[in-house]
Amino acid sequence: MDNVYIISPSYLIKKKREFTAGIKQLSKLGFNVLNPHFPTVLPSPQEKAEQIHRACADSGADMILALRGGYSAMKSLPFIDFDHLKNHQKIIAGFSDLTALLNPIHERTGMVTLHAPMVASLKEPTAFTVGSFMNAVRGYPEKNLFQGAPVKVYRHGTAAGILKGGNLVTLTALINTDWEMETENSILFLEEIDEKLHKVDRALTQWILSGKLKGVKGIILGDFGGLKSREVYQVLASQMELNFPVVHCPHIGHVPDKITLPVGAEVELNTQKKQLVIRKLALPGVRS
């Protein structure tokens, strides 16, 4: 895992020094950035898709890493050639607004994608974030994704499923579209930032009323940007029977200490051990 190709599927980084700091950090970690040029023009939705196609077709690229999140990645979905991605498999990494791409790409190609820090969030990463990110790109030699992270249990149990999820509002926006996430037999992780409790409540209620949580095997609540995890849990518990394990891990989301999660991997959630363990994983180009 040597060469990184940067894409701009959401917003741009406004300050060049922040971009430069992220590139330097990638170099420090041993990566070679193939296109280290500061982007100043936001691509159109079709151009964003074409950028992803070029990155996948680049034989020298090992990982495709998003510049930053923000908004508008979902607009590129109608223009993405998923067969092209499947035939030119690369690790695709990002989080936040990139949730709109990570899950559909996995579901339509079978590739595992990474819910991971981006260039913007790598400018001053913590040791925990770096350790988790490097564990991921090395194929997850450490199988317990919760290793070194605090975990609070709201409902005990053990469950296995396909790890999916990401930003709540972004995923909610995809419901009832051609790219909505399949939740059957999933271990679902959700996080949010800068949203009031009533907006989080509204989004989760939509998931409940639309039946999106009926086939879920377990839920992991990440960080919700200042909201208490118990408040978010109560939104769920007050409206549905939670007959599966539910935990809170604050190292998922828009936080300094960030776990890099493999979207599409088969995992087991064990609340007694407070572990989330990879059972089956195949990262493009990486031996696990």
**Residue of 74, 67, 70, 136 lying closest to 105 (CA atoms):** 74
37 is catalytic: no
Q: Residue 90 — φ and ψ, nearest 5°?
A: -140, 160
Q: What b/e string do you get for 208-245 counting C-beta neighbours within 10 Å, with b at 16 or more? A: eeeebbeebbbbbbbbbeebebeebbebbeeeeebebb
156 is catalytic: no
Which tokens hold the place of 75? 């607009």
> Which is the catalytic residue, given 248, 254, 266, 268?
254
Residue with tokens 């067969």: 83
Q: DSSP labels for 22-48? A: HHHHHHHTT-EES------SPPPHHHH
Greatest CA separation for the chain: 51
96 is catalytic: yes
Alpha-carbon gap, residue 16 to 33, rounded angstroms: 16
> Which is the catalytic residue, given 107, 191, 192, 195?
191
> Which is the catalytic residue, given 96, 121, 132, 229?
96
Active site residues: 96, 191, 254
